[in-house]
Structure 1
């Protein structure tokens, strides 16, 4: 992403392609680390294939866990309109119908994970076959221009590559500005002369229909995810694991020694020693294992052993690096080390506090982005009131593990002691969805209608005279 956009659509496309080319090496390195393609640990110059095999096995990829831990707590569960417009059950809102039509219950995870991985991702809201839909765009293929990248939530222009160029055919891309969608062709990201731009259609919104999802944005407009700051620590862990594997492979066992005794040499059919290229006798391999006992006839021969290299120091170093990773990334130690035995509920809550604050920050950032998506979708659908609803907000699923009995007890106390309407507490029931709440609303309305009908029939039916019955 960059700022200071200006010029014709062709100039915008050239600037966006150059921005993508500039950011691609950094983003590709981040993607490599998430996929487990890490930098090799330090090895001596004479390293052979065996060393390189150990280096490949030394990769302990913690990056997916650093992304997945907060991502698994980021699920939009419903949407609530602002008080400035009429309210109705979430399942019946046009905004939520657009959400379900776009299958964002599942696809939102990819958008969130992309933002956590690279620092930002994008969502495109457009009209497809008469229906408004939203889909995610990868940061590896998409670049955006902002007049003020630190504060603007609306991009000036966005370009996403749909086909990379090859020797047989040029690359293609889609680009959007405030009014129009364009088709872009190019032979290379840095080949500005080959860029060709043609208008496709007016996209129907009053601003660019692409929304940025940023994990964190500083006042310079830079976005940072959870992976890039951890690459140095990941390399340290890989180096220590590699050193451990080398020590385990070559020095984790006792070495038997014998002095004052020449090894047996290889001989030919005539009993003559077989010589190597340097004219030295070739020794026979000595088969030493737990079943064999070594002895020598010469009394001057001495047998001994070299102690194995202790591995505890390497293991402690790995454990320390993982704890550093936990502290810097705000990931609870038991998520990384798997050590949760003998931890009280208070200790677990304290360990989860930093992660909860981190997730709350992500929810605030992503929530604003989803609210813009809903406004753009409403505008494309012709819903003027919702398009201007800046008081609406997304509701996040409560991912804390609670028993139903515990939640019911707490909600009951809230309803009784604070006089909170019971209907307002429905969304706080663990695991309930907007669709289920809509069904409860319908069932409640049906029950109320049946009750009113029964009462009307009872009032309209003549009651027998009790005195006459008594006589």
Structure 2
């Protein structure tokens, strides 16, 4: 029989965090610009190391931010009730109030960025003193267990670390199963013998684990992959090429002047009458070449610039210069590597290269097609996760109908760059040519929010009621012509 005790689950979840710690730390380093050092000679000096630091060109935040900035939930379309009727406006329901209470309009971006960076992130839905709220959880501190990690939406257990161990103070974590919440302490995530689960437990209020996974990509083995990890080899290649270009720029991008047949001037030191070294010129009676640590005479530094003239007394001295080395091939190599990065990550090249001049609208649309498909995939995956969050919040609020609503859909804001005039023209054609009701097109107005949409509905209903009242009064009030006709008939 499989051991599913709280202590066993806590150890298994902490072991997952320990197993993934190295991989997630590496992804985190690359996201923050702490990349692997480019190849350098074994005895590289400080100048080489400085060039290596300056060679880091961190493209990872752009790979995360480009799709994340196109993901913004600003509404929810509820499904139907058990009677087959549309549910009431979701923005007026307790579940949507939980969204506003959680300040998810601003905080949802961190959930997407975490999922796109590490491959997955989590959201915890719980009842607090302020009411039902949800908050994002980092993949570096949270783990979940699934019976089928590739297909299950709800985990049967999850753990999130709230405090790391510090000195003699043990770390703390919260663990959830389908019914209860447990307090967990540990000295280290790789010291499973130190794991302890408090004897007391409390109900969290849901009928399933309240932690929801947001996965950027899940394969049939249950593995999650973000946009950073596959790009690390390309990022290292770009850094190496930039480093080589900086080295070439520093050492070979300018002419090197040389002189042959002439010994460089030597540094000299003064000697007093006793043969000791002195720095006082008045005591000096002789001089000798200054010796370096290796015992050889030290040459003096030659200061040369465009205002100085080179000359030598010996007629056998020859002056010359070495031509500068080209760095254009290295610049082309950087450009090629960035194009490879754009192609593999499905990021439009002009987002990375900044080359947007002389591009037609059709060319820009074609360049954005791959990114649009990628964003559509993320919206599908994250949308299902948000729908579960809404169901969990509705259950905590006591809304049994909304808690079982599996037909609702998340409303994603249209982030495409279109002018209002273009959108109005397109929506007008849809209404006139296809006969789509005007109200059915309100949602497609660029930038419209759920609150604005419902305000429009309320104003439209008020206008309809006023219009109906005016028509009724018009029918009930006789006109002047009808009164005159009635008088004429009575006189006859």
CA gap 1:82/1:287 in 2 versus in 1, 3 angstroms: same
Matched with 2:69 is 72
SS of residue in 2 equivalent to 1:211: strand
Matched with 1:375 is 391
Separation of aligned partners in 2, 1:466 and 1:127: 67
CA gap 1:417/1:171 in 2 versus in 1, 3 angstroms: same
* Counterpart check, 1:15 vs 2:16: no
* Counterpart check, 1:427 vs 2:443: yes
Matched with 2:171 is 171
Q: RMSD in angstroms over aligned alpha carbons?
A: 1.8
The CA deviation string for residues 258-312 of structure 1, in whole angstroms up to 9 with x for no partner, is 0111122222342433333444332221111110110112221111111222111
CA gap 1:467/1:104 in 2 versus in 1, 3 angstroms: closer
Matched with 1:56 is 53
Among residues 385, 389, 392, which one is paired with 2:405 in the alignment? 389
The CA deviation string for residues 26-47 of structure 1, in whole angstroms up to 9 with x for no partner, is 0011011001111111111111
Matched with 2:276 is none
Aligned pairs, how many? Answer: 468
* Counterpart check, 1:219 vs 2:216: no
Matched with 2:260 is 259
Separation of aligned partners in 2, 1:235 and 1:73: 27
Matched with 2:242 is 241
Matched with 2:131 is 131
Matched with 1:43 is 40
Separation of aligned partners in 2, 1:233 and 1:132: 44
CA gap 1:122/1:13 in 2 versus in 1, 3 angstroms: same
Matched with 2:302 is 286
SS of residue in 2 equivalent to 1:354: helix
Matched with 1:96 is 96
Deviation at 1:396, TM superposition (A): 0.9
The CA deviation string for residues 118-176 of structure 1, in whole angstroms up to 9 with x for no partner, is 00000011111262111111001001111111111110100000000111310000000
Asked whether the 8 Å contact 1:414–1:420 carries over to 2, the reply is: yes
CA gap 1:165/1:268 in 2 versus in 1, 3 angstroms: closer
Deviation at 1:458, TM superposition (A): 3.4
Matched with 1:444 is 460
* Counterpart check, 1:113 vs 2:113: yes
Among residues 340, 351, 358, which one is paired with 2:367 in the alignment? 351
SS of residue in 2 equivalent to 1:360: helix
CA gap 1:260/1:94 in 2 versus in 1, 3 angstroms: same
Asked whether the 8 Å contact 2:414–2:446 carries over to 1, the reply is: yes
> Any residues of structure 2 matched to 1:322-337 within 5 Å, and which?
322-337=338-353
My pick for the range that moved more, 362-371 or 459-468, is 459-468
Structure 2: gaps of 5 or more residues: 271-285
Asked whether the 8 Å contact 1:5–1:12 carries over to 2, the reply is: no
Asked whether the 8 Å contact 2:245–2:330 carries over to 1, the reply is: yes
Deviation at 1:462, TM superposition (A): 4.4
Asked whether the 8 Å contact 2:161–2:172 carries over to 1, the reply is: yes
Matched with 1:200 is 201
Separation of aligned partners in 2, 1:420 and 1:200: 55
SS of residue in 2 equivalent to 1:136: strand
My pick for the range that moved more, 456-465 or 325-334, is 456-465
Separation of aligned partners in 2, 1:282 and 1:130: 76
Q: Rg bigger for which structure? A: 2
Separation of aligned partners in 2, 1:363 and 1:185: 37
Deviation at 1:450, TM superposition (A): 2.4
Runs of at least 4 residues off by over 4 Å: 465-471
SS of residue in 1 equivalent to 2:459: helix
Deviation at 1:353, TM superposition (A): 0.7
